[in-house]
Amino acid sequence: MNNSILDRKIGIVDSVSANEIKGFLLDEAPQSISILEGNVTFFPRINSYLVIPNETGWLVGMISWIGYNHAVANNEVNLPKGQRMIYLNIIGHIVETLRGLIFERGAFSLPTVGDSILMPSIEQMDAVVKNSDENTIMIGTSPLAGNQEIKLSIDSLFGRHLAVLGNTGSGKSCTVAGIVRWSIEESIKKAEKSPNARIIVLDPNGEYRHAFDDLDMDVFCYAIKTSDLEQNLQQLRVPAWMWTSQEWSRVLQASGGTQRPILREALRNLKSGNINVDIDNKNNIITIDLLKVHLYNFRNFLRNSIVNENYLNENKTKFGKELNDRLDNMNAIILKIGIEFPYLQESQTFIDKAKNLLGSNLGQYNGNLYYKAFKLQDIEVIVSELQAIIDKLGKPNDKYLCNEDNPVEFDISQLSPYIRALAQDSAASQYIEFMTIRIESLLRNANIRSVIGNEPQISLLEWINQYLGNNDKKGKICVIDLSIVPTEIIHLVVATVARLIFEALQRYRKHYGQELPTLMIMEEAHTFIKKYSEDNSEYSSNELCTKIFEKIAREGRKFGLGLIVSSQRPSELSPTVLSQCNSYILHRIVNDRDQEMVKRLVPDTLGKLLDELPSLPTKKAIVLGAAVPIPTVVDIKELPKEKRPKSENPEFGDVWSGKCCRSLDWKEVVDEWI
């Protein structure tokens, strides 16, 4: 054994199992601090690294336990004497190649009893933590890995999603802001110009307003403007005509039986023809053209269901309810047209036949109605009979062929009176009053109207340009300050922004054949990406928000949309979103449920690494996942105070003692409020 190895030898393997290596520490092994090759490190210490030579190179183990092998003499009580012992979890091995030392996860073979346990050399430790990816950022140093710099792969970090988790005050926001800043600065250093990056920060607490102002990028902050003096602030706009019918249904709490079908019909017609509503003239609203549009969309719905047979099998109850709603809408329109409709008898026969099919497939279990699987041939018969009526009526004008979910502009103020007109003179009129009152209530609130209203007018193209930019020469950061967005619409605003960004990137790839890398950051994610019960078929706007982020987590990588979720309550987060994150930065987590949730995300052999979570000081974090070669504790780089998000603790002591003054004139606050 050469002198270098002898100098670094600190123990001997005592026993070997598939999960754990036990070893004795030599008497001359360091007691608390090791000085090796001029490098000062703590040893022995939980979660630090040791190496064991073998035939392939060196096995790398992480210390999971430190203690004594207690000796018993003359039946006396156990005393802390005998040799010190350590337990190791093998995490990988180092091999020597022509290119130098290379670290690989996993192990080809385990050591045997009597093998030497060594302190790793600086070169070996560098091989273990070194990130070989071309595009990396340095986020800090690891005190357990010889204070080596820890670099993360940008492509893995953003392309495969990142979760930053930890209690309030543990440094989460600074870590998120730092990762964005260090990534931008690294890109500027390489390209020597503003990076072609797009970053959207969804900020519920208004912490990031000025966190990136000094970067060489276009930085915009969108919020509800309460004063014209806020020159650096853009008015947040998410017009309600961008919402899908499902999003409308949730914010209006529309019931599935009567309200939702009428709402969808109203949205479809207003988006199709920009109809000017005349409540006193219902013939201006209920026309054969309207029936043509309805039947045309009805037929397409049935055809799509036939093509996607899995939809019929897996969503049979949803399909049955949708079919029933469309039949009710068709019947209501025909009755309102009345004797002017030349094919009244054929249409009524068709409706009765389709209703009979629904009735034969309807079942009940524990008081809940459900639909059994539909036969394809039955649906095909309905389509052919519906097509016969369409052929007699003729195809509707192209200007009316619009889906209720398309982001087509219409006058939102017309929605409520138009719904009333649709329900006029029918049994449905008594059921839609709550829905129309809620629409009018939303539009009466000045703060809500400024976000969802038509004024000032903005097109879909202008909206996309605001958030994704139209200039590839300079990057763009959009901070969306949600701090005073009313609770009635905040989840819907977040869901709509996330959905439209995602859909825009989907269409970008389809058109250009390549992805447009974009990063979306969701702060306080446990509020907006909250887990929900799959048993509930009626999703609230909160759950709709979760579902769009679950879709982004599953599919975003294919279209260049990366996700960072930051949360202090991981146990309340959607398990789907958390499981799709491939990298984790874990700050201090004290709550038992949150710790258990996080431990499920890592292999059993690394579970003990997370036992350190409750005691991590501020700025320290455990980093693991695809973006880093091995899991390790990192001392996160410090951000200058002026570049941090505004998330410091309130100055109770200084304010209460009079050291810092606060104005107590509430008039201006109240004036902006109402």
pLDDT at 330: 83
Q: Which residues contact 177 (CB under 8 A, 6 or more apart)?
A: 208, 211, 212, 639, 643, 644, 645
The top-level CATH class assigned to 151-233+458-657 is: alpha beta
For the chain (674 residues), the mean pLDDT of every run of 10, in chain order, is 72 90 89 69 83 90 86 50 83 86 85 92 87 88 84 90 92 94 91 86 93 90 82 90 92 82 83 54 58 80 76 74 82 76 85 89 78 84 89 71 81 87 67 87 90 91 90 84 92 95 93 93 94 64 90 94 95 92 93 88 68 87 88 90 79 74 72 64
- The torsion of the CA quartet 600, 604, 608, 609, rounded to 10 degrees, works out to -80
pLDDT at 38: 59
pLDDT at 244: 92
Question: Which long-range contacts link 451-458 to residues 24+ away (Cβ below 8 Å)?
Answer: 451/224, 451/236, 451/237, 451/238, 451/485, 451/489, 451/493, 452/238, 452/239, 452/240, 452/412, 452/489, 453/239, 453/240, 453/412, 454/239, 454/241, 454/409, 454/411, 454/412, 454/413, 457/409, 458/237, 458/239
pLDDT at 661: 78
pLDDT at 282: 46
Helix/strand number for the chain, H first, E second: 22, 23
For the chain, the domains span 3-130, 151-233+458-657, 245-436
At residue 659's C-alpha, the angle toward residues 657 and 660, to 5°, is: 110
